[in-house]
Chain A
Amino acid sequence: MHLDHQDGFPERHTYSAAAPVRGDGTRRALRIGLGGPVGTGKTATVAALCRVLREEFSIAVVTNDIYTREDAEFLRREAVLPTERIVAVETGACPHTAIRDDISANLEAVEDLEESVGPLDLVLVESGGDNLTATFSKGLVDAQIFVIDTAGGDDIPRKGGPGVTTADLLVVNKTDLAPYVGVDLDGMARDAKAQRGELPVAFTALKQPDGVKPVADWVRAQLTHWTTATA
Chain B
Amino acid sequence: MIPTIPEAAKPAPEPTTPGVRATARIAATGRGGATTLTALDGDGPFELRRLRPRGNEARVIVVGAMSAPLGGDRLRIEATAEHGASLHITSATATLALKGATAAPATYDVALTAGEGTQLHWLPKPLISAVGSDLRQTLTADLARTARLVLREEQILGRAGEPPGRLATRLVVRRGGRTLLHQQADYGPGAVGWDGPAVLADHRAIGQLLIVDPSLEYARNPPRLLAEAPESGQALLAPLAGPAVLVTAVARDGLRLRRLLDTAEAAVRGPGG
Instruction: Write the residues of chain A forming the contact surface with B, with a CB cutoff of 8 angstroms.
Output: 1-4
Contact = CB atoms under 8 A, between A and B. Distances in A.
10 contacts: A1-B178, A1-B241, A1-B242, A2-B241, A3-B218, A3-B239, A3-B241, A3-B242, A3-B243, A4-B241
Nearest to A5: B241
Contacts of A4: 241
Contacts of A3: 218, 239, 241-243
| Interface size range on B against A | under 10
A2 B239 CA distance: 12
Interface in B211-228: 218
Interface string B229-266: 00000000001011100000000000000000000000
A2 B178 CA distance: 12
Contacts of B239: 3
Contacts of A2: 241
B56 to A, nearest CB: 30
A1 to B, nearest CB: 6
* Chain A residues touching B, majority SS: loop
A214 to B, nearest CB: 47
A4 B239 CA distance: 9
B23 to A, nearest CB: 33
A1 B244 CA distance: 11
A2 B243 CA distance: 10
A2 B218 CA distance: 11
A110 B242 CA distance: 30
A117 B239 CA distance: 29
Closest 10 CB pairs of A and B: A3-B218, A4-B241, A1-B242, A3-B241, A2-B241, A1-B178, A1-B241, A3-B242, A3-B239, A3-B243
Contacts of B241: 1-4
Contacts of B178: 1
A1 B243 CA distance: 8
Contacts of B218: 3
Nearest to B217: A3
Nearest to B179: A1
Nearest to B242: A1
A3 B241 CA distance: 6
Interface string B164-186: 00000000000000100000000
A1 B239 CA distance: 12
Nearest to A3: B218
